[in-house]
Amino acid sequence: MNFDFTDEQKMIQESAKDFAENEIAPTAVERDKNAEFPTEIVKKLGELGFMGMMVSPDYGGAGMDTISYVLAMIEISKIDASVGVIMSVNNSLVCWGLESYGSDYIKKKYLIPLAQGEMLGAFALSEPEAGSDATKQKTIADKDGDFYVVNGIKNWISNGLSADYHLVMATTDKEKGHKGISTLLIEKGTEGFGHGVKEDKLGIRSSDTCSLTFENCKVPVENLVWEEGKGFNFAMNTLNGGRIGIASQAIGIAEASLHAAIKYSRERKAFGQTISNFQGIQFMISDMAVKIDAAKMLTLKAAAFKDAGKPFFKEAAMAKLYSSKIAVECALDAIQIHGGYGYVREYLVERYLRDAKITEIYEGTSEIQKIVIARSLLKD
Ligand code: CAA
């Protein structure tokens, strides 16, 4: 086992850190407050190769491995988890899915601009009555000549308002249950494709989330991704990689919480000394550091399995389950160490808690991750 990163991985980590500190940090507080999408930042991330990190250069990507992706996601999310999720959805759920399962036509027409960051992607699986129980898709896509006619509603779609291309799971054969679900790539602006209002969220407020509506929306048959009936497998396989991205986002938030806690405890004085001298504070700080290291190990292991072409769904579920849990715990501890100052917006730690909570919910709740892990351990 080798715990060293390659020179290239270290370089990517460093460049993500520089970009996050210099280009993302200055506007993070205002964007959170105003729920403002970071359009310019996403454009620049694309120019630097961060929006299609794992895509082959043949399709406009940076051709990097998943370990590099984890390192970059941590650095970006440490500064702004909203930017982290925008990047994660485009990389893991959209680009990876299209490169793995898209036709040559789809890769040339859609993957290249997505990987280059000229276009933004979204992934639409959840519905009002199909969240954790994702097989119960009510969105219908009926084939009519050279088109699918799509009708239905999708919920909680990250990048929903800003995305140019949406991967939409829809039922093409009602008789076949989850084997009758297919994935269609639907362009923004297609007639019959609308969206609901921007959700007013607790955290990751600078990313946009909304519902999508389809009313007799005609989608060319060429925009079918993979094959009819493979949409649920597409969603699950893609989400496995997505869960590595969200685990990394959670680790970024946890690291930001730890750094804030260390900084504040060294400055704040009580009872005649800095509070970092008190064991109560020291215990919290060491617990945070151990949890973060454990979360990183799980996440890098899942990434290494993925890069090695091994099954990694259980590892990805473990990484997301644990990293999201400790992100919430670290943010809470950072607030506790800050006392009253942790409860107001002037200090960043209250945002870390608001941002951390979603990592236990999206891309499969913690309870769903436990189901995935347990089923894998209990199967014959
Ligand atoms: N990896 C690969 N395949 C998987 C899988 C995984 N992790 N989990 C399930 N599958 C496959 C099964 O192997 C099975 O495939 P076959 O039929 O080809 O054999 C198929 O999926 C159905 O599986 P089950 O019979 O186990 O179905 P189930 O209904 O009992 O359980 C579930 C499925 C695991 C609960 C699944 O519905 C699930 O993961 N739900 C959570 C959905 C989710 O993560 N939503 C996130 C929305 S996207 C998002 O959040 C993006 C964002 O905004 C940032």
Domain edge (last residue) among 184, 204, 229: 229
Question: Mean pLDDT in the chain?
Answer: 97
pLDDT digits (tens, 9 = 90+) for 342-373: 999 989 999 999 999 999 999 999 999 999 99
Q: Are residues 84 and 136 in the same domain?
A: no
Residue 171 has a pLDDT of: 98
Average pLDDT over residues 201-227: 98
242/178 same-domain check: no
Domain boundary pick from 163, 198, 229: 229
What tokens appear for 82 in the block?
């909203």
Are residues 337 and 365 both part of a single domain? yes
For residues 356 and 323, membership in a common domain is answered with yes
CATH of the domain at 116: 1.10.540.10
Q: Are residues 207 and 264 in the same domain?
A: no
380: pLDDT strictly greater than 80: no
* pLDDT at 309 (0 to 100): 97
| CA atoms 307, 311, 316, 322: torsion sign | negative
DSSP letters spanning 275-288: GGGSHHHHHHHHHH
Instruction: Decide if 2 is inside a domain.
Output: no
pLDDT above 90: residue 2: no
Same domain, 345 and 244: yes
Rounded CA separation 138/133 (Å): 12
Last residue of a domain, one of 90, 120, 150: 120
What b-and-e string marks burial along 212-240, b requiring 16 or more CB atoms within 10 Å of the CB?
A: bbbeebbbeeebbbbebbbbbbbbbbbbb
Q: Which amino acid is at 40?
A: E
- Report the nearest atom of ligand 1 relative to the CA of 246: 54
The reply to whether 127 and 114 lie within a common domain is: no
- Average pLDDT over every residue of 330-349: 96
Residues 45 and 158 placed together within one structural domain of the fold = no
> Cβ(39) to ligand 1 under 6 A?
no
Measured CA distances, 159 to 121, 198, 229, 295, 312 (Å): 7, 10, 25, 26, 26
- Torsions phi, psi of 105, nearest 5? -60, -50
Residues 24 and 85 in one domain: yes
Total length of the chain? 380
Domain region containing 272: 233-378
Question: What whole-number distance in Å separates Cα of residue 261 and Cα of residue 280?
Answer: 13
Q: 211: which DSSP letter?
A: E
Q: Ligand 1 within 6 A of 224 CB?
A: no
3-state secondary structure of 15: helix
Q: Kindly tell me if the per-residue pLDDT of 177 is higher than 80.
A: yes
Whether residue 115 is found in the same domain as residue 126: no
Q: Domain holding 207: CATH number?
A: 2.40.110.10
Instruction: Write the pLDDT tens digit of every residue in 38-59.
Output: 999 999 999 999 999 999 999 9
Span 258-265, mean pLDDT? 98
Q: Are residues 69 and 147 in the same domain?
A: no
Is residue 16 located within the same domain as residue 144? no
The closest residue, in CA terms, to atom 40 on ligand 1 is: 132
Active site residue 222: no
Pull the structure tokens for residue 274. 């800095």
pLDDT at 282 over 90: yes
Compute the distance between CA of residue 31 and CA of residue 336 in angstroms, rounded to an integer: 25
Which two tokens mark 125?
Answer: 């699986």
79-127 per-position pLDDT tens digit: 999 999 999 999 999 999 999 999 999 999 999 999 999 999 999 999 9
- Among 135, 155, 236, 369, residue to substitute to test ligand 1 (most atoms within 8 Å of Cβ): 236
Query: Is pLDDT of 1 > 90?
Result: no
**What pLDDT shows up at residue 220?**
98
